[in-house]
Amino acid sequence: MTRSFAASADQARALDGAAGRLGISSDALMAVASFQCARLAQLLLVDLATDSPVAVLAGRGNNGGDALGCARHLAAWGHVVKAVTLADLADPEANSSRQAQAARAAGVELRVVGAGADSAIDWALEGAALIIDGLLGTGGSGPIRGVVADAVRQMNANPASVLAIDVPSGLDPTRAEAGAECVRASATLMLAIPKSGCLSEHSRDLVGRLWLADIGVPAEAYLEVGFASPVFAGAGLEPCDSVSQPELG
């Protein structure tokens, strides 16, 4: 990166809001984010040189929707994918419900869990070469507890590589503070804009290699929240140190 540019959690949410006001819906952003996550997962699987299953752990929010969308693409590309979602799928029009339906249609083996999810998570993680961490995104704050904390412990105890979506679950995206339970990722794919907590020296051992993905946020939205849009050298999915940001005019 030629210049320092990173967003707090509040700025990242403001960027999403600005995109929405410019006509880019959350569904549209999720569609591109999930595709970019699957592209990176595919690259990591090639490096791992394995056809072992992919495990996807999806939370209740948009981060979980991104993870389920990623699972759908990977399954469509021929990978065995086992996914667990913590979302309530009772509302068929909710983002998570639509993503879950599409994932199942693509061949993803999906279990929906609430409390007492340990056995389902063990099932998903067994034999996995790669784990997609979609439990918490920039909306998470404070120490994690309950089933999410249990899932993080199970992930960290597993030898598989971990790809975190936007920020490792349990890491504060603004201040880089990590609670007692925090995912230790092999790679982190930040969406739309780098997160300050991921770029901190304090989080280096938690985030792994940092990547940045273009998810279709228009330049005007970046300007509205005080940033210039990142300039990608390639197709919008690159290691973070190869992406630059021009000066604000």
| Domains of the chain, first to last | 9-242 (3.40.50.10260)
- pTM for the whole thing? 0.93
pLDDT(146) > 60:
yes
pLDDT(94) > 90:
no
The mean pLDDT value for 120-124 works out to: 94
Cα–Cα distances (Å) from 44 to 47, 124, 132, 231, in that order, read 5, 18, 11, 23
Instruction: Give the per-residue pLDDT at 242.
Output: 58
pLDDT(115) > 60:
no
Q: How confident is the model at residue 4 (pLDDT cuts 50, 70, 90)?
A: very low
Radius of gyration for the chain, computed over Cα atoms and rounded to the nearest angstrom: 17
The mean pLDDT value for 219-227 works out to: 91
Instruction: Give the per-residue pLDDT at 2.
Output: 34
CA atoms within 13 A on the CB side of 183: 33
pLDDT(244) > 90:
no
The mean pLDDT value for 91-107 works out to: 91
- Per residue in 168-222, pLDDT (tens digit) is 999 999 988 888 899 999 999 999 999 999 999 999 999 999 999 999 999 999 9
Higher pLDDT, 167 or 245: 167
The mean pLDDT value for 16-25 works out to: 95
The mean pLDDT value for 77-87 works out to: 95
In Å, how far from its chain's centre is CA 53?
18
Q: How confident is the model at residue 114 (pLDDT cuts 50, 70, 90)?
A: low
The residue to which tokens 């030898």 are assigned:
159
The mean pLDDT value for 2-16 works out to: 80
The mean pLDDT value for 95-112 works out to: 94
Grouping H, G, I as helix, E, B as strand and the rest as coil, residue 48 is: helix
Higher pLDDT, 248 or 230: 230
Instruction: Give the per-residue pLDDT at 172.
Output: 92
Mean pLDDT across the chain: 90
Instruction: Give the per-residue pLDDT at 40.
Output: 97
Instruction: Give the per-residue pLDDT at 33.
Output: 96
Say if strands 237-239 and 209-213 run parallel, antiparallel, or are unpaired.
antiparallel
Higher pLDDT, 87 or 117: 87
**134: left (phi > 0), else alpha (psi -120 to 50), else beta?**
alpha
**Which residue(s) pair with 187 in the sheet?**
163, 209
